[in-house]
């Protein structure tokens, strides 16, 4: 028996998931912060949660979680000069990876991480080049690549596990709330 979910309930669930995933992105960004003095940026684990958000729940939640969660982390940790750029770059990362993933194919998940990762690396490179010059921007590239490798390497399997378990959890929730 299929249960119809009202538009209001869907919107509420989407908004709640967006807020929770943004909070998780923010927290993951704080777990490890390795500063890069030439650009005043830092390496972190936020991308891992951006990929989990986008690959599990799609482009809207992934984009919100990536943009808002990462920008909030920048603002709280004193990197306010990057907050607006981060909102745009990390938001686009979440949107892109959510749009490419079809939630059924490992190949599509890997492709999603690669394409979104290239966007993130290029986005920060251009911003840092504009703000600090070519040489400083180049120092950030290896750290950004490592963020994507770790984020995708851990985020893809985690998203696959959550996607597999999610229908079961929703089924239980529907039965227990009737």
> Which residues of the chain are under the pLDDT cut of 70?
1-7, 168-178
> What is the C-alpha separation between 108 and 71, in angstroms, rounded?
27
| pLDDT for 4 | 61
- Orientation angle between helical segments 46-57 and 83-100, nearest 10 degrees: 40
| pLDDT for 3 | 55
> What is the C-alpha separation between 25 and 27, in angstroms, rounded?
6
| pLDDT for 176 | 38
| pLDDT for 162 | 94
The domains of the chain are located at 40-164
| pLDDT for 70 | 97
| pLDDT for 150 | 96
- Angle among Cα 19, 3, 101 to the nearest 5 degrees reads 50
As a whole number of angstroms, the longest Cα–Cα distance in the chain is 61
CATH (one of 2.60.120.10, 1.10.1760.20, 1.10.10.10, 1.20.1050.10) for 40-164: 1.10.1760.20
Global pTM reads 0.89
- SS3 category, 35: strand
pLDDT in tens, 7-25: 677 788 889 999 999 999 9
């Amino acid at each position: 028996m299929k249960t119809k979910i009202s538009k209001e309930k869907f919107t509420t669930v989407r908004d709640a998931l967006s807020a929770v995933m943004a909070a998780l992105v923010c927290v993951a960004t704080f777990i490890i912060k390795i500063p890069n003095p030439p650009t005043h940026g830092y390496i972190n684990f936020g991308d891992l949660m951006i990929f989990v958000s986008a690959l599990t729940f799609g482009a809207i939640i992934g984009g919100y979680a990536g943009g808002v969660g990462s920008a909030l982390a920048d603002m709280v940790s004193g990197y306010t000069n990057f907050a607006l750029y981060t909102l745009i770059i990390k938001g686009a990362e979440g949107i892109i990876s959510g749009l490419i993933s079809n939630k059924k194919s490992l190949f599509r998940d890997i492709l999603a991480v690669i394409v979104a990762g290239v966007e993130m690396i290029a986005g920060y490179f251009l911003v840092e080049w504009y703000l600090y010059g070519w040489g400083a921007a180049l120092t950030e590239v290896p750290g950004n690549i490592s963020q994507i490798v770790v984020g995708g390497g851990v985020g893809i399997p985690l998203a696959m596990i959550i996607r597999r378990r999610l229908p079961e959890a929703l089924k239980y929730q529907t039965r227990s709330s009737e």
